[in-house]
């Protein structure tokens, strides 16, 4: 979250967008994933897994009820 807040601030915003979180996800989280099997210890595999997750999970949006 701190990374996303910093990215938003650099762009002159005081709020975070889903794109800020997506941009930070791989550099911040890839080294934290522990993958089993043949991919053990592979940073590229972790980045690929995160990329797939980011593509497949839709961004939550709040529906306006007015």
3-state secondary structure 2-52: HHHHHHHHHCCCCCCCHHHHHHHHHHHHHHHCCCCHHHCCCHHHHHHHHHH
For the segment 31-57, the average pLDDT, to the nearest whole number, is 78
Is a pLDDT exceeding 90 seen at residue 9? yes
The pLDDT value recorded for residue 45 is: 82
Percent of the chain whose pLDDT exceeds 90: 30
pTM: 0.67
């Amino acid at each position: 979250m701190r990374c996303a807040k910093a990215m938003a601030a650099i762009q002159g915003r005081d709020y975070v967008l889903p794109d800020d979180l997506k941009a930070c996800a791989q550099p911040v989280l890839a080294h934290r994933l522990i993958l089993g099997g043949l991919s053990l210890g592979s940073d590229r595999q972790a980045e690929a897994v995160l990329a797939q997750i980011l593509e497949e999970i839709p961004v939550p949006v709040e529906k306006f009820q007015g």
